[in-house]
Chain A
Amino acid sequence: MGQLFAVEIIYRGVFQKTLAKNITRGIVLAAHNEGKLGISFGRYGDSPERNGIPAKGFAIVAGDEQALEAGMAQYEPKAVDVTVVLDDTLCKGTESWAWYGLRPVHAALKPGGTLVVVSQLDAPTLLKVIHKRNESYKLGVLKGVTSFSGMWIYKDDHTDVRVLGAIAKALPQLLGLKAVEQFISEKLESTLKVMSAHSAFERFSAAEVKPGQGSADPLEHYTLPRWHEMRLGVSIKGQPQGGTFEDPITKEHGGFRPARNERFKKYSTRSFRPVVNFKTCTKCTLCWLNCPDGSFDVTPDGTYNANLESCCGCGICEAVCPVEDCITMVNESHFHGNDSQWVNFKKDQDAYLKWLEKTIETAEPFEQRSQGFRYRGQYQEQIPAALEIAKKG
């Protein structure tokens, strides 16, 4: 039996669905130029037609048909040679939509495999949030702006071919640069893209991450119940009503916090998070009313606090808030942890407002914060800057 390789692409539902598919297809077609066989597919259960959900795409490449069949004789590869992360905020971990707890981003990566992250941050910064593990692996950053687009519209910013170039560097046994270049010039018919793949290959490098190196943030474990332990009637315990909660300073109870599903926290669905200015909040209720997930707690002060266990980062609150800079969506990679902003505000208002000002400064302009497609010509405007950053590598 011949060689067998598996690559997984971890991406965000809707915004990167087409991109992930292009990459897995590219891997298979490029490897085929070297006489290898392969298949590419998306994880069926992910339902990646939902905004921002962590989802996976796979490419299996084999030396011969028997090896390919061995790779296909399962739902999806359980151990992969390369894991590509298309949005660096996913480095904090991923949850499948059925939620069995937060999984490390490298959960399926073989010992010694390579984790490729598309990011503008450097490896040491990423390692602050990537969970530590017992086996060593390699980590490489493919410098670039996170490529987000819409369900039906693709942002052709060369991320697909750049990732192919990086994979050729990380695992030359899977596919060589020549095969990638041949695929691009024959199938994508773009000399510019050949150049992008080539320069990504040249610049990409991965360094070893030693056992135990990385974030010590706790992971949650969940054991699936046996059939006779499950409730009957396809029913699950619902949530109680919720109620008031404590002001950390005055110790008085007030406001309203709905009880939320303990088993479904949405940390990893978020690529942006709202930061709230409780000082300028006019208590207009619009964020609370419009949040599709009911993620806002009504504080005892009557202001609204985005509960980060529940927020999936859609940005609707920012869009409906009538006060300038009262709610701002900021890239998730700037944050560590999910502490309550309101509690921090109550503890030290001045420090919080200073932190808020600094944090808002790091936010991209509103138009670019969009994960999707907002107006005609948007991508044409964004692509040159993205390519510039990519070129600098």
Chain B
Amino acid sequence: MTTTALPLEEKKKTCEQEALITGAEAIAVACKLANVDVITAYPIRPYDTVMQYISQLVADGEMDCEFIVAEGEHSQFEIVKHASACGARVFCGSSGVGWMYAMECLTVSPALRVPMVCMVGNRALDDPGAFGVEHNDALAVRDLGWLLNWVDNGQEALDTALIAYRVAEDRRIFVPIAISCDGAFLTHSQALVKIPTQEQVKKFLPRYDRGDLLLHPDNVISVAPQANEDWVMEIRRQNFAVTERACEVIREVYADFERIFGRKYGNPFFEEYMTGDAEVVLLGMGTMSTSAKVAVRKLRAEGKKVGFVRLRWFRPFAGKEIANCLERFRAVGVIDRDFSFGSPDLSGVVATEVRSAMYNNASTRPPVLGFICGLGGREVTVPDVKEMTDIIFQAANGKAQPLTQWIGLRG
């Protein structure tokens, strides 16, 4: 391009910039670009990095918003819930037990149709106190009407935050979205991220319009009255309708994102890596994809045809598409960076969902093995991935394997 002649300030406005930033910083930049009005914060590692970056942006005069440090996560989420009801675009987030402390507010937000966008810096739930990544925090709201997304790099974090505002604030959706970023691996590691221009974002993201749901003296409404058994089921059905429409809206928004920003994500719901001719695949969420991809390449060098599927959207769970994708393989291994104690087959949350999604394809479904791996921030190592691949190949070759195995555990 010939833009080098432009002065630096002008260039910043009109051209896409590249910056070396963390995943948390990428989300902070997305908040600035999305012109978020109200942001609340309460420190907890690893989420607190995002509030550090945002407060820096505000202090430097680069971003204009209400930045409120609450006295705890419950208030943090309550404040943005109410601000959103009043028509403000909001951002919030937390990690681990901080997210759980806000649970009452997390529970009510979908029914109240609050399109807040949050970042969950995934962190193991206490006890023991631990900073490392585990996905059980964000997964705790999986049945409550939230849309849940896992990203695996800074670029995707920034892009997904913009996409999340567009999806959440679509009147057909109007529910909160949480973007999960693995603690440390994503929140604290810096990578080169392309930062779109304000003009592009303006084109992509319309004004947040709450319409007749706006809590304002000129639109007098009463929100969240008590209701008896004659009303609750109908209210639940309204949120069910959101999940019926969610996949379609998400597809639309990704297509528009590609049109405006030129970055292509393909299938919005999951990313396939070297699956074209694969005999078996592993499936997982978040930053474990890095070691998974490295291992896949190494295994292929050894002649083992393995692929990796990285799930982006956990809610909505694109069940049919996932099942249709996975039934092509001879065996599937699901890596859960979470636990679901006492679940069917004692598997993790994702493996249980994948099996459930594949149940309808009775004649074609391959064996699905569950792996619990990388808990509490433990690395999902390349040897771990190799070990899991070996196990799936054995299953593919007809040798029965345990349905759930712990990998990377001192046995």
Residues of A with Cβ closer than 8 Å to B? 45, 75, 96-98, 100, 224-228, 230-240
Contacts and interface: CB of A to CB of B under 8 A. Distances in A.
Given A45-B228, A45-B229, A98-B228, A235 B234 contact: no
A338 B227 CA distance: 28
B221 A224 contact: no
Contacts of A96: 228
Contact of B220 (A75, A227, A234, A238): A238
A226 B112 CA distance: 18
B220 A224 contact: no
B224 interface: yes
A236 to B, nearest CB: 5
Contact of B222 (A75, A225, A235): A235
B274 interface: no
B113 A232 contact: yes
Contacts of A97: 228
Contacts of A45: 228-229
B223 A227 contact: no
25 contacts: A45-B228, A75-B229, A96-B228, A98-B230, A224-B230, A225-B234, A226-B234, A227-B235, A227-B238, A228-B241, A230-B234, A230-B238, A232-B213, A232-B238, A233-B111, A233-B112, A233-B174, A234-B225, A234-B227, A235-B112, A235-B213, A236-B221, A237-B220, A237-B221, A239-B220
A96 B228 CA distance: 10
A232 B234 CA distance: 10
Nearest to B232: A234
B112 A234 contact: yes
Interface string B134-178: 000000000000000000000000000000000000000010000
Contacts of B233: 227
A238 B112 contact: no
B302 interface: no
Contacts of A75: 229
B95 to A, nearest CB: 28
A196 B354 CA distance: 69
Contacts of B212: 231
Contacts of B222: 235-238
A75 B227 CA distance: 16
Nearest to B229: A45
A234 B223 contact: yes
Nearest to B211: A232
B174 A232 contact: yes
Nearest to A224: B230
Contacts of A232: 113, 174, 213, 238
Contacts of B399: none
Contacts of B113: 232-233
B234 A238 contact: no
B410 interface: no
A227 B224 contact: no
A232 B228 CA distance: 17
A236 B212 CA distance: 10
B345 to A, nearest CB: 35
Interface string B86-114: 00000000000000000000000001111
Interface in B195-246: 212-213, 220-225, 227-231, 233-235, 237-238, 241
Given A227-B237, A227-B238, A230-B238, A235 B230 contact: no
A227 B238 CA distance: 7
A96 B223 CA distance: 21
What are the 4 tightest A-B residue pairs by CB atom distance, in nearest-first order?
Answer: A238-B220, A227-B234, A233-B113, A227-B237
A228 B213 CA distance: 15
Given A235-B112, A238-B221, 17 more contacts: A45-B229, A97-B228, A98-B227, A98-B230, A98-B231, A100-B230, A227-B235, A230-B234, A232-B213, A234-B224, A234-B235, A235-B213, A235-B221, A236-B225, A237-B222, A238-B220, A238-B222
Most chain B CB inside 10 Å of its own CB: which residue of A100, A224, A235, A237:
A235
B151 to A, nearest CB: 28
A235 B235 contact: no
Given A45-B228, A45-B229, A230-B238, A235 B223 contact: yes
A228 to B, nearest CB: 8
Given A45-B228, A98-B228, A234 B111 contact: yes
Contacts of B224: 234-235
A97 to B, nearest CB: 8
Contacts of A234: 111-112, 223-225, 227, 235
Nearest to B114: A233
Contact of B213 (A225, A233, A239): A233
B85 to A, nearest CB: 8
Contacts of A224: 230-231
Contacts of B221: 231, 235-238
Contacts of B241: 228
B234 A233 contact: no
A108 to B, nearest CB: 16
A34 to B, nearest CB: 34
Nearest to A233: B113
Contacts of A237: 220-222
A369 to B, nearest CB: 30
Interface string B321-355: 00000000000000000000000000000000000
A227 B220 CA distance: 22
Contacts of B231: 98, 224, 230
B165 to A, nearest CB: 18
Contacts of B230: 98, 100, 224
A96 B229 CA distance: 12
B172 to A, nearest CB: 11
B224 to A, nearest CB: 5
Contacts of B112: 233-235
Contacts of A228: 238, 241
Contacts of B237: 227
A100 B237 CA distance: 21
B59 to A, nearest CB: 35
Contacts of A226: 234
